[in-house]
Structure formats: C-alpha cells, structure tokens
Structure 1
Amino acid sequence: MFRNAQMPSTGWFAAVGATALLTVLMTPPSAHASVVTCGQTLTTSVVLQADLLNCPGDGLVVGANDLTIDLNGHSVDGVGLGVGIRTGGFARTTLTNSAVTAAQVQEFDHGVQLAPGTSGTVVEKLTLRSNEFTGVDVNGATHSRIRNNVIDRQSHRGVLVTGGAHDNVIADNALTGNQGGGLLMQNSRANRLEGNRITDSGNAGLVLEGSSGNTLLTNTVGGSGDGSFILQLGSNDNLVQGNSTGRSADAALIVSDSTGNRILSNTFRDSGDSGISLQSAHGTTVVGNDVSANPGGIDLSRSDGNTIRSNTANDSKGDGISLELSSNNLVELNQVNRSGSRGIYVVGEATAATGNRLIGNTVNDNKGGGLSVSKAVHLVQGNTARGNGGWGISADPGNTDGGANLASGNGQAAQCSGVVCAP
C-alpha cells in the first residue's frame, strides 16, 4: 500500500539533524492561525483561534510596534485581576475583531489599557464588559483611536482618559450601564469625543476635569445618575457642539470653575435640573441650544462675561433663563416661552460698566411674568413680552431702559414696570 511513498532517508535525516527538524516543527504560527496563552507577550501579529479563559493576571501584552491582534470572535476572560490587553507603550497597535460574533474582554481590572508612551493605537469592534475599574484606560496615550466598541457594565467607569493624554479620538462607542460613570477625562487635552452613546451610567455621563481644548461632538447621554455632561475644575476652551441628552438626575450640562468654553447647537432636554448650568464659569459662549422641558432652562450663578444668544428655553418648570450674582453677560435673541415661573430673571447688583445686557429676547406665556430684573444696573432693550401671567417686563429702579421693548396681553394691566413698552 505504501510502496510508492517516499520517506526521508537516514542520510537526509542525518544531514538535517534532529536539532534542525525540531526548529522547523517549532516555528511560530502565522498571524492567520495563532495559538496564544494567558499572559503572553506578543511580538508578532496574531489571530486568535480559541478563547482565553480565567486568565490569572493579564490576558495579552503587546511587546512590539506595528502589531495587529484580531480576537476573531473569541473572548479574553480573567478572574478580576490584571489587564485584558495591555499595550505596554508601543506604537501603532491595532486591537480588532474580524468576526461577526462578539469578541469580549471581560473580568479584569481594566479591559484594555493604553499605557504611557502608547501612540497610534486603534481599539475597535470589541466588547469590554464587567471589568473592575475601566473598560478602556487611556493613560497618557496619544494619537490613538477608540472606536465602534461596546463598553458595558464596568464596576467603575467605561472609559478613563488621564495622564496628559492628547490628540486621541474616542468615537462611535456604546457605553452602557457603567456603575461609576460613562467617560471621565482628567488633565488631558486636544482629544475628540464624537458620536458616543452613553446610557444608564451610575454617576455622571461624560465628565471633563482639568481638561482643556477638547472637542465634544454629537454625543448622546441619557439615564445618568448625576449630570449628563460636566466640565469642571479648570476645563477651559472646550467645544461642546451638537450633543443631546435624555434623562439625568442633575443638569444636562454643568460648567463650573472653567473659562472660555463654547456650547453650541446642543439639545438638552428632560434632565433632573437645568438644561445648562454655569457655576463660576466665565467667558462662555452659549449659542443656538435647545434647553426646553427641563426644571430650568439656562442658569448662571456667579458667572461673568458670558454670551447667551439665540437659545430656545421653552416649557421650563421654573425660570427659563436666570442670572444670579452674575455680571457683564449678554443675553440676546433667546426664545423663552411657557415657563412655570418667570421667563428671564436677573438678580444681583452691578455697576454701569458691569451690568448685564438683555437685548431682543422673546418671553411669552410664562406663568410668573416675562422678564424680571431686580437691583441695578442692567440694560433692558428691544425685548418682546406677550401673554405672561404677571408683568411683561419688570425692572427695579436704577436699571437702564434701552428702548424698543414691546408688551401686550400680560397679567398686569400696565404691561411693564420700570421700562416703557409699546403695545
């Protein structure tokens, strides 16, 4: 039966030698048929062929530049210790999943960790689930992309960005049910957070602390146990544009102790407090936002030099726009209608040089009055107030009537107090 089979001769074997034959048999598998083990440090690209289960420490460790690790629909599973996939500070690593079935990294301290010195890494199409501290930890990494991942049910945070991380993009991820919050960025700059969906966080949805020059675009945050978006503790010169919110336990957006932020064309509704709250926030541009159907629309407290323009703050349970102990703000061309209390309310004294300017706003059908300005010295000019339950416009003595105010159909027959209103 085996008459024609050609077997290696004893001479051939002797020529090759047992050592050389062993070398041939032990050649590392190619990237298309890779067998790896828990804790292995990888120096070549791999495609997983089986799950890694109950890893006692790290799952996989990147040990060289320019690697691709394809989980190929398999899981990297731990016992609550170590890191699922640790980059180790190398460059241009791609962590991906080419299979239709989900590839899970679960039950570690951190699902994926981009250590200091890491650059150009891509983390995509993975499911980071049930890890202790973070699903993705971006610690000092730069120029990396975290995209199209499911980051679900971490005991603490979905994504943590720290250590001066910069020029990273975190986009199109689904962050769901993370108990400590969705995404926290600390002391990092020039990152782009875009198109992420952050839901049912146990704490705040998306938080920046001491992080400046970042861009937040078209993110959706809902069901947060605290505020939806929070910029605080010196988070300056950030752009927040085109984002939206659903339910939250606190305000949709809180900006505190920060300067120079731009809040543009967002839709912030159905929050537990105001749509936008500025607290000791200065030089902020708040333009073109819809903050309707919140307990309050836009609130300023001890916040100076801000521009509040062309926003819609309808159907608030309380005041539509309120300024407390805040000076030198421009409140212009806003629509504030059907509030449960006052449309626009300003309280707190100012000098003539630091008064607030209330120009060209529309305040209609508010139950407690249209526009109310107590103390002095503020400018009231070109506002329209119709159908409010109290005064159309009420200004205490000492404020400045800039003229061109209009009022009709308000609860007080005189329509306006402290300024002259045409019908």
Structure 2
Amino acid sequence: MPGAPKVAIARGAAACLLLLSATLMSANPAGATTSAVACGDVLTTSTTLTADLTCPGGALTIGADNVDLDLNGHTITGSGTGNGLMVAGRTGTTLRNGTITGFTYGIYGGYGGTVLTATDVRLLSPVDVWPGTVTFTGTRGDACLLSGIRLVDGLLTADRCSVTGQTVLVRSSGSTIRNSALTGGSLYVSATDRSVFTGNVFDAFPMGLSDESRRNLVRGNVFTNSPTAGIGAGETFLPQDANTIEYNVFTGNDIGLHSRSMLKHLIVHKIVFNGNRTVGLLAENSYGSNRAGPDPVSDNVFVGTGNAGYLIWAPPGTVADGGGNQGPCGPSPNPDLTCW
C-alpha cells in the first residue's frame, strides 16, 4: 500500500523513543537530578552524585523536606571542619550508598525535628542530631558505618551497622540498636525509656545506663575486652521502671557487669560470665540506699575455664537473690546470696 513504509518508520522511531525514555526513568528516581553538585549547594530536589566531592568547609545542605540524596558510590571529603550534610529541621530525608569523611560532623541536624534515613552509608565523621529521628541500616557487609553519635531528644535506630567512637543517647526513648558490631568506643544512655539493645557485639565498647533510664532491655548481646564492660547501671526508683539485663554473655573483661546502686530495680537474669579476670557481677552501695531492690539476680552462670575471682561479688544488702546462680560468690558469709 502506498505510504506503508513511512508508517513503519514512524512506528519504529516511536518505539525507540519509548525505550530511551524508560531507560532514563529507571536510571534516576522520579524528580531526581544528576547535574553536577558543588560544595555549599543547598539541595531542594532529589539528587544523584556523579563524582566524588572534596570541600574545604561544609559540603551540602538539605533545603527541603522529602529529598533523596544518592551518593551513588561516591565520597564526600572535608578538610576537618564543617558539616558533611546539614539536615537541620528537615523531614523525609534519605541518604544512600556512599561515604562522608573528614568533617566536624558527617551529619548535623540541630534546631528542629530532623527525620533522616541512611542506608549503606559509611560515616567516618560523627553524627549530631537534636532533636530528631534517625535510622541507619546496612544491607551488606560493613556498608553501614557510624563513627560516633550524639542524639538528644530523639529516636535512633541502628540495624546491621558497624559503630565506633562515643555514642550518647539522651532522652532518646524507644531507640533500638540491633544486630550491630560496636568496637573501640562507648555507649551512654541517659534519661531514656523503653529502648532495646539486642543481638550486638560490644568489643572494647562499654555501656552505661543512667539513674533516669527506665524499662530498657539489654538482651542477647556479647560484651568483651573492656575494663568494665557494662552496664554501669544506676538505680531506678519504682519497681515497674526496672531495666532488664538478660541472656547476654560477658567474656574477657576485667569486670563484667557493674552496678553502683545495689541492683535496685535492675533485673539481672540468665547471663553467662566467662573469662572475666576479676568478677562477673560487682554490686556496690555507692548511693547509701538501705536495701537492695526487689528484682532478682537469678540463673546466672559462671563458666570456670578461664575465669578468676567470682561470679558475683555483692556485700550483704546489695542483691535480691532469685536463685539458680551457678558459680562462686562473695564476700562470705552473705545471708542474702546463695551460689553454688
């Protein structure tokens, strides 16, 4: 038919345009730009980096809500000052797939309710957020790396991350650190309620709970290679506010678990103490309370091989014995404590 070849050519051209359009759409999130990014830029739309970025001061600022920053495998490097990413008061920020290093803070989120989720990001500079909600996750290996965190009046979730440096949570109720490796630093939790720490390895990374922290759960972790591994716990003041320390392993420390307030409203349950050089559990009366709290120390186990000293060292009046503690205890005699 006359004109048929022209129709076929037009259809073929349209198909090529559709294929090219689909390829471009799959390569970039909707609304994202891949234009060159410069130090000091304020990002108000989703952006994908196309190259590494080296900045003499601060690097990038998130200037709107719901911005996705895909580092695309690249590194943002500073000279030791400024912030790698400023996200103060922005919500819906997502950060993915890359490295931020060489800044005073890798992520800074003061002055407002920052909400940020970072996936597979290596932060070689600390995170400082107050207040806010921050989530860090890793999908492979050590793709999630955190080099110190300070979170005040907010909520932290860290899942499958490697954590180094000092981590401080203040009034950070409902936070979670799970399935992570914490090495060469410390964790201090203050005035925090109902947070969960589970499935982690704390290697030369002692943990402390302040007096004002309540109803937190420390479960199924390994604490190792510290002078005092944890929990450094103070007392809570109501029985229903007791913190629970259970099903953990303390191994290769000088002192495993140390309480300065006679374990008042602190439940210590089903812990294995192995290879701790001085004592597994040390209880003191540093605050002058009259009697131990009602919550029991029970079913803890002292593994003899490699241990020295005691399973529990708890002067009279410092421990409520729940029974089942397997190992040597002191000092003797102690009418409040029965071990075997």
Structure 2 distance, partners of 1:325, 1:139, is 43
Check the 8 A contact 2:88/2:114 in 1, yes or no.
Answer: no
Report the alpha carbon displacement of residue 327 of structure 1 after superposing the two structures with TM. 4.4
Larger RCO (alpha carbons 8 Å, 6+ apart) = 2
Going from structure 1 to structure 2, the CA distance change for 1:185 and 1:384 (only over 3 Å counts) comes to closer
| Residues in 2 aligned to 1:271 and 1:379: alpha-carbon distance in whole angstroms | 26
- Distance in 2 (alpha carbons) for counterparts of 1:379 and 1:94: 54
Partner residue in 2 for 1:47: 48
Answer whether contact 2:284 2:318 (CA < 8 A) is retained.
Answer: no
Residue of structure 2 equivalent to 1:415 = none
- Decide whether aligned partners of structure 1 residues 384 and 70 sit closer, same or farther in structure 2, where only a CA change above 3 A counts: closer
Q: CA deviation at 1:93?
A: 0.9
Structure with more strand by fraction? 2
| 1:240 paired residue number | 218
| Aligned partner of 2:184 among 195, 200, 212 | 200
CA RMSD of aligned residues (A): 2.3
Q: Which moved more, 1:236-245 or 1:110-119?
A: 110-119
Task: State TM-score, norm by structure 2.
Answer: 0.79
Q: Give the CA deviation at 1:137.
A: 1.9
Q: Which of 100, 103, 112 is the equivalent residue of 2:107?
A: 112
- Post-superposition shift, 1:345? 2.0
Residue 214 of structure 1 is matched in structure 2 by 195
Alignment of 1:119-268 (within 5 A): 119-129=114-124, 131=125, 134=126, 136-142=127-133, 144-148=134-138, 149-151=143-145, 158-162=148-152, 164-166=153-155, 168-176=156-164, 178=165, 181=166, 183-201=167-185, 205-224=186-205, 228-258=206-236, 260-268=242-250
CA displacement at 1:235 relative to structure 2: 2.0
2:301 aligned residue: 312
Give the distance between the partners of 2:110 and 2:117, measured in 1 at CA. Answer: 13
Structure with higher helix content: 2
Shift of 1:234: 2.0
CA distance in 2, matches of 1:113, 1:125: 18
2:280 is matched with: 297
* TM-score after normalising by structure 1: 0.64
Q: 1:71-105 CA deviation, whole Å, 9 max, x = no partner?
A: 011111112221101112111110001xxxxx221
Larger Cα-atom Rg: 1
Structure 1 unaligned regions, length at least 5: 1-28, 98-102, 337-342, 347-371, 386-423
Q: 1:318 to 1:384 in 2, by over 3 A?
A: closer
CA distance in 2, matches of 1:328, 1:311: 13
Gaps of 5+ in 2: 1-29, 286-290
Matches within 5 A, 1:380-399: 385=340
Higher mean displacement: 294-303 or 320-329: 320-329
| Cα distance, 1:160–1:240 mapped onto 2, change above 3 Å | same
The Cα offsets for residues 34-61 of structure 1, whole Å up to 9 and x where unpaired, read as 31111111110000001111x2332111
* Deviation sequence 1:145-198 (CA, Å, 0-9, x none): 12225436x5xxx12222x113x312211124x3xx3x2212321211112211
Task: Determine if contact 1:298/1:313 at 8 Å carries over to the other structure.
Answer: no
Residue 265 (structure 2) aligns with: 283
Q: Give the whole-Å Cα distance in 1 for the aligned partners of 2:296 and 2:284.
A: 14
Question: Paired residue for 1:323?
Answer: 314
State the one-letter code of the partner of 1:345.
Answer: G
* Contact 2:254 2:279 (8 Å CA) reproduced: no
**Judging changes above 3 Å, is the alpha-carbon distance between structure 1 residues 112 and 333 closer, same or farther for their aligned structure 2 residues?**
same
Q: Which amino acid aligns with 1:137?
A: D
Look up the match of 2:77.
Answer: 77
**How many residue pairs end up in the alignment?**
293
Deviations 1:175-228 (A, max 9, x none): 24x3xx3x2212321211112211123xxx22212323211111211134xxx2
